[in-house]
Structure 1
Amino acid sequence: MRLVAHVAALLLFSLNGLAYQTDGQFQCLMQPYTLPDIPPPGVSRIGSHLFWLLKGGASARFGFVGLKADSTQMDALLTELYLESNFAPHWVREDGPDEKRVHDLLTVFKKAEEDGLPAAHYRPTEITALLSVRKPEYLARLDLLLTLSMSAYVTDMRKGRAARTRFDPILLAAVRESSGDVPQVIKQGLYAAQLQQFLEMQAPQHQAYHALKKLLAAYREIEVKGHWLPLPEGKKIEPGMADDRLDLLAQRLLVMGDLPALPPPVYADANTQQLRLYDSELVKGVKRFQARCNLEQDGIVGKTTLAALNIPVHEQIRKIILNLERWRWLPHQLNGRRILVNIAGFNLTVMNDEQTELTMPVIVGEDDHKTPVFSQDMSYIELNPYWNVPPSIARKEIVEKMKKDAGYLNRQRIRIFAGWGNRAPEVSPAAINWHTIGAGISRYRLRQEPGKGNALGTVKFVFPNRSSIYMHDTPGRNLFRQAKRSLSHGCIRVSRPFDLAWHLLQHDGSNISKERLQKEIASGKQQSFVLKKPVPVHLLYLTVMLAEDGTAHFYEDIYGNDAELAAALNLDNEGMCLLNL
């Protein structure tokens, strides 16, 4: 017994030296509570030890501190939790821990790896080491450790693990404003009759999340079996060619599900050693792989396709884990009609509950004008919109064009107004010295008239937001043929704007017919349709997604967000524990 107590004491001492990263998720939620100078009357021996642990700052003592070593909010929550129970423990009794509840909690922690969460971060080893100790001071420490560990798990599931300050604040602007009252959920967990079931329900409940969990398990199995050998560099493989790498290629396509069955060995004739040709079945498999990776579907194994095939399986596993994290930033129940725009996948999907109603390619922001990630409700659709030229485009592009071509604005039907107010007077382009105006052009509003050549095309979809991002039509239809479509200044260009507008209006109870909608657009007259039921729009950055048929799509990390998120989660350093309290 002394040895166990000694080991437990060493573990507890080591806990005091660990620092856990958070993102201040309890900020502004918890008000500080002031403890009295001594424990209240009637408190048990365990309760008395709990009081003094809380009095000394339990979260810092146990290593659960904030990003800037500020544990105030966590301590406030702990103090409230134990004040409400008059310092009665939540997990232990005088004769030891509640074995059923602790077992349920440890079971959940063990399964956390299935969600891409590191089980070790919830301290199962330290908890287990204290289960046989019966001294009141150790039982008090065990009780607090269990409360802190459960709080960490709930927070990670409800809000995600990533520290907000590690990311571009514009790119990830409002994505974390999605879950409910995390402290309240933690309180509910302390009193949940079926703790394991309660905690498992804190994960996102939509199909996309559960499909990613299955994909994670499948890729981990592939990694264990070692069926992911790299293809050697060499000349590109085109249909009809012979190549000694075709066996490896076929094996990889089979493992990834792009080939239904393994073809005969690469040597068609063992005697003559004549190489089999790159036939139509293998070509189909390569095209399926290219489609899943958003590559040009030409069936040629060139430099780009070979590089995609040779991404190590452990990197694909990491990518899946990162995207599980991103889903945890969203509302955990996604019901009703909504629009999902995957920035990394260059596609838009309209869903109703779990059913896909419409999908189409889109164009998103280039690297210097990244499309941000956020959620907002679409409130109206505008036909034949005006385009108010952003000051940055006016300064960087239009001023330069006017220096070289004085007739540019007139041909583009762009008018100039002396200010941004609705009553600002119009100004002639000739009244401005384009060679000296420079940044001063920002004082003027440049507005392109509706009609042919308008940068927003014929339809604009508005979901008011701080970043002034919207979706719209475009006259540059040829750009949708490109595989990589990060080409805009940040807004989202949709490939089938009429279909999207008609679909949304039809399901909003509008009595406008398809023919009349076409006529209204053809008239060139600007008008707006306010949606009776605003439609949620989620701009996402997902580098792994599964189609309805279960096909896994891996997309290029066009903005470098995967690397940034992996660093914030510390995925490359398994020895560190980053908890999100």
Structure 2
Amino acid sequence: MRGKYYILNRMVHGLAPAALMVMLGLCPGVFYNTAVADEVRGGFEPAVVDKIYADLGEDSIWWTPATGLTARGKIIVNLLSQADREGLKPSDYLPSNNHINESLAPENYDRSFTKGLLRYISDIRDGRLAARYVDPELFDIPNPTDAAALLKTGLLTADFQAWLESLPPQSMKYKSLKEYLERYRKIADMKWPLLNTGQKLELGSSDPNVRHVRARLKILGDLPADNDETNDVFDNTLLVAVERFQTRNGLTPDGIIGPETYAALNVSPASIIQKITINLERLRQLPENLGSRYVIVNVPGFDLTAVSDGAEKLRMRVIVGQPKRRTPILNDKITGIKFRPTWTVPVKIAREDLLPKIKADVNFLRASDFRVFTSWKKDAPEIDPEAVDWRIISPERLNYKFVQNPGSSNALGQIRFTLTNPYDIYLHDTPHKNLFNKSGRAISSGCIRVADPLTLAGFLMEPSAKWTIGSIQEAMTSSEKQVAKLPAPIPIYITYFTALVDEAGQLQLWKDVYGRDADLIHILGLGATE
């Protein structure tokens, strides 16, 4: 597809988010505009639509003045009218009121169905266009689906209905999340009064509010349906249900109902529906084929999963970027491993983090095993850090380069996993293992710290005879720096999901640590957030 979307796809990495929004005719706070999206997607231009009819040798596909909707027309009207099952809006795809607009000639009315179906194909395969560019750190931009070519293929299939049903993602995660969308739409019809949050509840508590918590957890599926709602005592059955609810909502599963748990219990079904809807959108943005072996990081969930042949091989905790230094969303490859790496401090971190520590204690540099160079030039000489009067240097004038030697205090730990992206984002070990015990782990400067680098390295090097767990462990503790190339690059997907269904079929919800949900909900016109 060689339209404006194709051109945009080639230009996108060179543009700032604001420029992207201007190109789309959008700005923060503006709802999704299907007309603008059509203009940017080359596949919806009138000439492309006309070519579909010319290639098929037909003047009408969906509707004729004599007979009304054709057999295929009835199929797509049925499909598009139920687009809300996918978290989409039927009104974005169907002609107004599904009847003839008197301002349109019959052939243009038929083409309006074609245009709507093209938009649906593109949205269901790639995600809605505005959603892709609302996020300033979304670098996961695949080649767009050629909706026109795909539609022509579908129209030639023997079973058009089955072909249409094959368009959405077929992954179990997507299908399971769709099921929860339907489930929460039913729950949304129930009364959802706010719980009284004044009394902390825990095992052994006796309080009238306990019965309301029981009722809420039964509706949500965390408490068995046959549990007695009139019981005011916080018993072991309720404890298990509360811990399960807390785990599903990214909270510390301590079984105590305090402010955070009350807040999660009081989130309305309508808000959960919004969250599910935008995460269906994010699933549509993932490549259809993730590969036979891959690694996936979910930033809000603070976790990493490694998958081989469809089976989860390992899962571990991670630390991700803090809100002011967000971890970007991107698709990449892991290509190698550096053992006992040095760390060259990025300029921003040197100015904002390192300089205040140096000013507080000049011995910090030696104690942390840093080397200092006069500039960032390749041949810049090394200097004695005590020869510099750090007190008079402002952050804006800090042009020294700082390199931390390998060792127990090195910020990258004993191992660094090399990626190919141009944003200097990679995975690495850390000497501060205690931080993985925190429930909220958005505390890094953008890179991803992994809790169990040895096991991850073992997975990545699995096909290698040389790099066994034993040899990897030896390289991590050796006095020599070593670099190992992976037997084959492993795809890695750094994602941002705040709602997913786990392997046990349970809906997991996480905090929107970077505020991305609210932007996406707004740009897609899904209503206000709580």
Same fold (TM over 0.5): yes
Determine helix, strand or coil for the equivalent of 2:279. Answer: helix
Q: Structure 2 CA distance, aligned partners of 1:349 and 1:436?
A: 47
Q: Would the aligned equivalents of 2:95 and 2:112 in 1 still touch at CA under 8 Å?
A: no
Q: Structure 2 CA distance, aligned partners of 1:76 and 1:261?
A: 57
Q: Would the aligned equivalents of 2:4 and 2:39 in 1 still touch at CA under 8 Å?
A: no
User: For 1:566, which of 504, 510, 521 is the aligned residue?
Assistant: 521
CA-to-aligned-CA distance 1:104-154 (integer Å, 9 cap, x gap): 111211331111111122125543x239x9x9x732022211111111101
- The worse-fitting range, judged by mean Cα deviation, of 138-147 and 557-566 is 138-147
CA-to-aligned-CA distance 1:471-502 (integer Å, 9 cap, x gap): 11111111111111111111111111111111
User: For 1:201, which of 166, 169, 174 is the aligned residue?
Assistant: 166
Q: Is 2:326 aligned against 1:361?
A: no
Q: Would the aligned equivalents of 2:215 and 2:229 in 1 still touch at CA under 8 Å?
A: no
Q: Would the aligned equivalents of 1:474 and 1:494 in 2 still touch at CA under 8 Å?
A: yes
Q: Which residue of 1 aligns with 2:436?
A: 480
Q: Would the aligned equivalents of 2:59 and 2:107 in 1 still touch at CA under 8 Å?
A: no
CA-to-aligned-CA distance 1:191-223 (integer Å, 9 cap, x gap): 444322222222112111111011111111222
CA-to-aligned-CA distance 1:310-343 (integer Å, 9 cap, x gap): 0001110110001000111111233311111110
User: For 1:156, which of 98, 104, 123 is the aligned residue?
Assistant: 123
Task: Output the aligned Cα RMSD.
Answer: 2.7
What stretches of structure 2 of length at least 5 have no aligned partner? Answer: 11-32
Q: Structure 2 CA distance, aligned partners of 1:478 and 1:71?
A: 48
Q: Structure 2 CA distance, aligned partners of 1:440 and 1:120?
A: 52
Identity within the alignment, %: 33
Q: Is 2:243 aligned against 1:263?
A: no
- Where do 1:466-505 residues align within 5 Å? 466-505=422-461
Determine helix, strand or coil for the equivalent of 1:333. Answer: coil
Q: Structure 2 CA distance, aligned partners of 1:292 and 1:220?
A: 19
Determine helix, strand or coil for the equivalent of 1:443. Answer: coil
How far is 1:448 from its partner? 0.6
Q: Which residue of 1 aligns with 2:348?
A: 392
How far is 1:548 from its partner? 0.4
Q: Is 2:184 aligned against 1:219?
A: yes
Task: Summarize the Cα distance change of 1:318–1:94 in structure 2 as closer, same or farther, 3 Å threshold.
Answer: closer
How far is 1:96 from its partner? 4.2
Q: Structure 2 CA distance, aligned partners of 1:103 and 1:68?
A: 24
Q: Structure 1 CA distance, aligned partners of 2:368 and 2:223?
A: 51
User: For 2:138, which of 165, 172, 184 is the aligned residue?
Assistant: 172
- The worse-fitting range, judged by mean Cα deviation, of 100-109 and 256-265 is 256-265
Letter in structure 1 aligned against 2:138: L
- The worse-fitting range, judged by mean Cα deviation, of 531-540 and 118-127 is 118-127
Letter in structure 2 aligned against 1:25: Y
Letter in structure 1 aligned against 2:249: C
What stretches of structure 1 of length at least 5 have no aligned partner? Answer: 1-22, 31-62, 268-275, 574-581
TM-score (norm 2): 0.88
Task: Summarize the Cα distance change of 1:25–1:191 in structure 2 as closer, same or farther, 3 Å threshold.
Answer: farther
User: For 2:175, which of 190, 202, 210 is the aligned residue?
Assistant: 210
- The worse-fitting range, judged by mean Cα deviation, of 334-343 and 563-572 is 334-343
Letter in structure 1 aligned against 2:178: K
Q: Structure 2 CA distance, aligned partners of 1:361 and 1:404?
A: 33
Q: Which residue of 1 aligns with 2:242?
A: 286
Q: Would the aligned equivalents of 1:413 and 1:448 in 2 still touch at CA under 8 Å?
A: yes
CA-to-aligned-CA distance 1:403-438 (integer Å, 9 cap, x gap): 222211111111122344554432221343323333
Q: Which residue of 2 aligns with 1:141?
A: 108
- Where do 1:223-238 residues align within 5 Å? 223-224=188-189, 226=190, 228-238=192-202
Give the total of aligned pairs: 503
Q: Is 2:418 aligned against 1:438?
A: no
Q: Structure 1 CA distance, aligned partners of 2:342 and 2:41?
A: 51
Letter in structure 1 aligned against 2:114: T
Q: Which structure has the greater CA radius of gyration?
A: 1
How far is 1:518 from its partner? 1.4
Determine helix, strand or coil for the equivalent of 2:247. Answer: helix
User: For 1:511, which of 453, 466, 472 is the aligned residue?
Assistant: 466
Q: Which residue of 1 aligns with 2:17?
A: none
CA-to-aligned-CA distance 1:532-567 (integer Å, 9 cap, x gap): 211111111100011101011111111111110011
